[in-house]
Structure formats: structure tokens, C-alpha cells
């Protein structure tokens, strides 16, 4: 592990834990088999990109700006090849198109969570709709922690009065 310093927190999905390393690779640990492996990140990886679970698959999302338009390059598979590009419509982003973009996560319902400047944005990919989540005033270091709160029932309770 001394040769692979980790950068940031890891995440868990489908029995595997993933950590991005400072050397441009992903350390993968299989919890069931207790074995590890290494997956290379795309050569263009940057601190503004993010490892995430996208529809059940490990993906690396990387913002890319060309002219006055932002897009998110989606890399995946074991070779981290380019899978698709998500265009962020500039007419939806408005003046925020001039800000620096950073990917935070992809939520299974098709929502991309990004920062543009100090704004945290939920970008609904299929609808091309943007929702401002918060203004992350950065008076120093900022760290984001994904959290999902659900009121979905987890089971039925029975009253047994025997």
C-alpha cells in the first residue's frame, strides 16, 4: 500500500470497495473473496472527476469544456474506456457555464450532481433540467458527503397478541 497512496474516500457498491489513488489508478477490493486489483484511470483524469456507481457499474465521470459548453465524459469497463458523453446544455446552465465544473456523483434516477463555481447543482440528464441544491461558499476546504434519506417501508410489522 505504500506505493499506492489513496486520494480521498473510497466507496462501496455491489460487494466491492473502490479507492482512487494518487498514481492515477483505482484500487479495487472484493469483500467476499478478499482479493484486490488495480484498474487504470483514463489518462485525462483530473481532480474534478469522480468515481461513481452509474446504473450498477463503476464509472469515472470527467467534466470537459469545449468553447462555451460543458460536457461530462463517462468512462467505464475494466479498461476505463470512453462509454458516452453527457452534454450539459448551456441554455440550462446560464451564466454558470463560465464557472469551473466538478463532478460529485451520479444518482440512479438519472441525476448528475456537480458543482459549478460555488453552486451545487442537480442536473437531470434526460430532462435537461437543472436544480440548484445549495450555494457552497468556499471559505477554505470543502468536502461533500453523499447521503440518501428514504421513507420507503422496509417491512411489515404484525401485532401478535397470543
User: What pLDDT, in 10s, does the model give residues 29-80?
Assistant: 999 999 999 999 888 888 888 888 888 888 999 999 888 788 999 999 888 9
pTM of the model: 0.77
* pLDDT of res. 55: 81
Confidence bin at 142 (pLDDT 50/70/90): low
* pLDDT of res. 73: 96
| pLDDT tops 60 at residue 155 | no
Compare 9 and 28 and report the one with higher pLDDT: 28
Helix (H) or strand (E) holding 115: strand 111-116
- Rounded CA-CA distance 101/110 in Å is 18
| pLDDT tops 90 at residue 121 | no
CB environment 7-33: b (16+ within 10 A), e (fewer)? eeeebeeeebebbbbeeebbbbbeeee
* pLDDT of res. 154: 46
Q: Which of 1-5, 100-104, 106-110 has the lowest mean pLDDT?
A: 1-5
β-strand pairing of 119-124 with 129-135:
antiparallel
Scanning the chain, the segments in alpha helix (DSSP H) are 90-93
- Rounded CA-CA distance 45/82 in Å is 12
* pLDDT of res. 159: 47
Amino acid at each position: 500500500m505504500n506505493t499506492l497512496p489513496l486520494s480521498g474516500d473510497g466507496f462501496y457498491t455491489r460487494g466491492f470497495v473502490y479507492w482512487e489513488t494518487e498514481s492515477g489508478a483505482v484500487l479495487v477490493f472484493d469483500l467476499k473473496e478478499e482479493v484486490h486489483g488495480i484498474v487504470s484511470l483514463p489518462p485525462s483524469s483530473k481532480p474534478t472527476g469522480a468515481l461513481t456507481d452509474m446504473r450498477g457499474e463503476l464509472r469515472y465521470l470527467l467534466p470537459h469544456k469545449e468553447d462555451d459548453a460543458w460536457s461530462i465524459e463517462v468512462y467505464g469497463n475494466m479498461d476505463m474506456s470512453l462509454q458516452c458523453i453527457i452534454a450539459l446544455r448551456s441554455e440550462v446552465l446560464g451564466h454558470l457555464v463560465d464557472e469551473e465544473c466538478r463532478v460529485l456523483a451520479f444518482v440512479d434516477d438519472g441525476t448528475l450532481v456537480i458543482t459549478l463555481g460555488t453552486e451545487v447543482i442537480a442536473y437531470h440528464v434526460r430532462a435537461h433540467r437543472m436544480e440548484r441544491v445549495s450555494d457552497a461558499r468556499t471559505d477554505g476546504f470543502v468536502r461533500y458527503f453523499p447521503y440518501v434519506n428514504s421513507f420507503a417501508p422496509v417491512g411489515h410489522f404484525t401485532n401478535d397478541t397470543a
